[in-house]
Amino acid sequence: MQITREEWAQHLVDALDTHLFGGDLDLIHHQYQIGFGRCKGKRECEVVQPSEAEDIGMDDFFPTTIALDWKVGDVEKIAVNLAFICVQAFLNIKPKGKQYKRIMDKYYFEAPYNEPNPSQYCKDLIQTAIGDVEKQYGKFPGKAVKFPAKTAKEKKKTRFNIFCPGCGFELVASKKMLEKNNWNAPTCACGTKMIIEMDDIDEKNKENKDKEGSHIGN
C-alpha cells in the first residue's frame, strides 16, 4: 500500500494518541489536516486553529491545520515535533502558563516547554508509535529537502582610512574616489602629504603599495 507522507503522518497521530496520550486527543471529535511546508523562523512545526480564522463557524471549511517543516526528514524528529504540536492542536491549550507546564509534564515532556523536548520515556513511547505505523504502512514516504551549503563570500574593502602624519588629521575615503585619483593621497590642510592605510586592500590595487611598508602616499 502506497500512501502520501501526509496520510502517514495522520496514522502516526492515531498511534501517538494510543501510546503517548492514552486517547486524550479525542480524535474522533476533531477535524484536522496535516501538511508539509515551510514553517515560520526556526520552527519545525506549528498549528492554526479554526478559531484563528477571520469568520466564526469555519470548522467545516477550515479544520485544525498542523504544519510540519518539509526540511525535516528524520522520522523520529518528525514524530517528536508532531507529538509536541498535538498538545496545542487537540487539547485546546495555549503554549504558556502553569497549566501548559502541567500538561507537558503529564505527557513526559521536559523544560524548556516552548520547544519539543521529550524525556527518554516519551521518546520510547514515540518510537513504539512509529513502529506501529511502519508495521502497517511501511517506512515514512518522504525525504528532507536538501539545500546546498552556502559558502561565505569574501567581503572586499570599499572604504579606507587616510591620515596625516604631520597633524594627525584623519578621514575616510571610498575606493571609487581613490581609484579616480589613481590612488594618490591628498595633501592635508597643514601642508603634509597624507597617507592611505593599505593593510586590507585587495591584490588588484597592491601594485601601488610600497614594497617595504604597509602604507602608500608618501
Go through the domains of the chain in sequence order and give each one's CATH number.
5-137 (3.30.2010), 159-216 (no CATH)
Grid coordinates representing 96 are 504558556
Lowest mean per-residue pLDDT among 48-52, 124-128, 208-212: 208-212
Sign of torsion over alpha carbons 6, 33, 145, 114: negative
Residues 160, 199: Cα–Cα separation, whole Å: 10
Using DSSP's 3-state secondary structure scheme, residue 40 falls into coil
Residues 198, 161: Cα–Cα separation, whole Å: 8
Q: Is the pLDDT of residue 32 over 50?
A: yes
Q: Is the pLDDT of residue 94 over 50?
A: yes
Place of cell 477571520: 54
- Range picked from 40-49, 78-87, 142-151, 178-187 for highest mean pLDDT: 78-87
Instruction: Please give the model's pTM, rounded to 2 decimal places.
Output: 0.61
Residues 37, 83: Cα–Cα separation, whole Å: 17
Mind listing the pLDDT tens digit for each residue in 136-147?
Answer: 999 888 765 555
Mind listing the pLDDT tens digit for each residue in 148-203?
Answer: 566 767 777 778 888 888 888 888 888 888 788 888 888 888 888 888 876 644 44
